[in-house]
């Protein structure tokens, strides 16, 4: 079962590697941006459409 920590977009916190940010590039009809969403390293990523193995 893939978890967030195995994903290229997961960036662990230095002080607590069990947590981190899922950083993604988003392009909407008006602008492009990078977003960061806090996730736990062991979160199940099986249904995540953005999952990409490191």
Q: Residues interacting with another protein, by CB under 8 A?
A: 11, 21, 23, 25-26, 28-38
The structure tokens listed for 46 are 């099986």
Question: Closest separation between CB of residue 50 and another protein, Å?
Answer: 13
Question: Closest separation between CB of residue 38 and another protein, Å?
Answer: 5
Q: Are 8 and 49 in contact (CB under 8 A)?
A: no
Q: Are 25 and 10 in contact (CB under 8 A)?
A: no
| CB of 46 or CB of 54, closer to another protein | 54
| CB of 11 or CB of 44, closer to another protein | 11
User: Alpha-carbon distance 8 to 29, whole Å?
Assistant: 25
């Amino acid at each position: 079962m893939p978890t967030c920590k195995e994903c290229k977009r997961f960036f662990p916190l230095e002080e607590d590697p069990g947590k981190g940010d899922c950083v993604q590039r988003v392009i909407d009809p008006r602008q492009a941006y990078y977003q960061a969403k806090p996730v736990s390293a062991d979160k199940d990523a099986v249904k995540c459409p953005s999952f990409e193995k490191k």
